[in-house]
Amino acid sequence: MLDPEPADADLVRAMGSGDLRAFEAFFRRFEAPVYRTALAMTRDVMTAEEVVTDTFLRAYAARERLDADRSPLPWLQRVALNLSLNHLRRRRLGLVPLDDPAAGMHVDPGASPEAAAERHELARALMGGIERLPPRFRAVVTLRYLHGYELAEIADILGWPVGTVKSRLHHSLRQLRGELHSVLGRETIPDSPIATPDIGAVRTL
């Protein structure tokens, strides 16, 4: 019988033995980060939900092969990214943006109306720039700034050399800086923006 809050390893082992309750708990635990990845990549709610469903179906099909000694989340992220890329390849006419890419963005309740409007504008410009990144570049940005993975972890998830990850991240940030400069008249993305307010919208996709 599973503990009320089982460790990841216990969930994976129980899944491997065919415990459906363990799979339900596994889904609840990891659904949110997988959905954020799918939505960040596809920018379409229905497609993201389809990616989540397919990702966990594949996880259940592979349950006996999952390594209980490693967190399953990087594996789930890899599957979700690959499925998202497949959707984007089939969607030849471009991305379908959300109605409001800044929706859900945290704004300090004490901020002035001018500051709140500026942050909203920044989020719109930033999300528009991310949507225009090539899908594989968007994958790097999603893993680094939405989930906070280190470069070596991103390389492991995507199966790329660390040098490729660094190169694509550098290219992505350079393009995003250009996007923001053209829209807002200034560059606001630092080299390592994971903890900075200006990049906060990326973490609330």
In this structure, the answer to whether residues 70 and 141 fall within a common structural domain is: no
Query: For 151-195, how does the pLDDT look when each residue is reduced to its tens digit (9 = 90+)?
Result: 999 999 999 999 999 999 999 988 888 877 766 665 454 443 333
Choosing from 58, 90, 122, the residue where a domain stops is 90
Average pLDDT over residues 10-19: 94
Length of the chain: 205
Asked whether residue 145 is assigned to any structural domain, the reply reads yes
Asked whether residue 99 is assigned to any structural domain, the reply reads no
Asked whether residue 103 is assigned to any structural domain, the reply reads no
Give yes or no for residue 13 having a pLDDT over 50.
Answer: yes
Asked whether residue 105 is assigned to any structural domain, the reply reads no
Report percent pLDDT > 70 for the chain.
71
In this structure, the answer to whether residues 86 and 117 fall within a common structural domain is: no
Chain position carrying tokens 């659904």: 31
Choosing from 56, 90, 124, the residue where a domain stops is 90
Distances (CA, A) of 56 to 52, 141, 174: 6, 23, 34
Query: For 49-97, how does the pLDDT look when each residue is reduced to its tens digit (9 = 90+)?
Result: 999 999 999 999 999 999 999 999 999 999 999 999 998 888 754 444 4
Average pLDDT over residues 135-142: 92
CATH number of the domain that residue 176 is part of: 1.10.10.10
In this structure, the answer to whether residues 84 and 26 fall within a common structural domain is: yes
Eight-state DSSP code of residue 28: H
Asked whether residue 44 is assigned to any structural domain, the reply reads yes
Question: 61 is in which domain, residue-wise?
Answer: 8-90
CA-nearest of 77, 123, 116 to 97 is 123
In this structure, the answer to whether residues 117 and 192 fall within a common structural domain is: yes
Choosing from 90, 122, 139, the residue where a domain stops is 90
Kindly report the backbone phi and psi dihedral angles of residue 47, in degrees, each rounded to the nearest multiple of 5, phi listed first: -65, -40
Asked whether residue 158 is assigned to any structural domain, the reply reads yes
What's the total number of domains in the chain?
2
In this structure, the answer to whether residues 86 and 120 fall within a common structural domain is: no
Cα gap 26→108, rounded to integer Å:
34
Cα gap 139→84, rounded to integer Å:
9
- Sign of the alpha-carbon dihedral angle for 185, 191, 194, 197: negative
Chain position carrying tokens 């001018």: 114
CATH number of the domain that residue 81 is part of: 1.10.1740.10
